[in-house]
Copies of this chain bind each other. A is one copy, B any other.
Amino acid sequence: MRVRQLAEKLGVSADTVRYYTRIGLLAPTKSTANGYKFYNIREQSCLRFILSARDLGFSVEDITQIIAKADDGQSACPTVRRLIDKRLHETQQRYLDMLRLRKRMLAAVDSWDSKEDKAPTGNQICYLIEEFIEVEVGSETK
């Protein structure tokens, strides 16, 4: 199997497969004739694992560690439990950040609906942005 065939089989781009190969997560054999990389069934199941872990929020570095443990013959489960706890906290944080940002953006759009366009002055670049922040900072203290 060459890179494109593997990629299509598992529904990712060939570049993604190349990337995982480049960083050492996949280790295809190198054809002697033309230098093309050759992925066997073992690489395929490894990629499947990588994609599953990715979908659970593990970073590429996490996956590297997990695979290294397993390749070493040890159980990766403790590592997996430890790492997902960390990533879960991060995901939670990012989720909250997105939520707050979304709220702020919606408030801005809403308040801008009743405001007209204005040309910039020497002091202001865009009064929509500058005045919205002032209002928001003020209302945050109450």
Cross-interface CB contact of A84 among B49, B73, B109, B133, cutoff 8 Å: B109
Chain B positions within 8 Å of A57 at CB level: 101, 104-105
Tell me the smallest distance from the CB of A132 to a CB of chain B, in Å. 7
Q: How long is the Cα–Cα vector from A84 to B69 in the complex, in angstroms? A: 45
* Chain A contact residues: helix, strand, loop or mixed: helix
Q: What is the size category of the interface that chain A forms with chain B?
A: 35 or more
| Chain B residues positioned under 8 Å from A102 (CB to CB) | 88, 91-92, 95
Interface centre among A77, A80, A130 (most CB of B within 10 A): A77
Q: State whether A129 touches B56 (Cβ < 8 A).
A: yes
* Chain B nearest CB, measured from A112 CB (Å): 6
Is residue A85 contacting chain B, with contact meaning CB distance below 8 A?
yes
Q: A75-B120, A91-B101, A118-B77 are in contact. Are A53 and B129 (CB under 8 A)?
A: yes
Determine if A125 and B70 form an interchain contact, defined as CB atoms under 8 angstroms apart: yes
From B69, B80, B119, B130, A49 is in contact (CB under 8 Å) with B130
| Interface CB pairs A-B, < 8 A, 6 | A55-B104, A67-B125, A70-B125, A73-B119, A84-B105, A94-B98
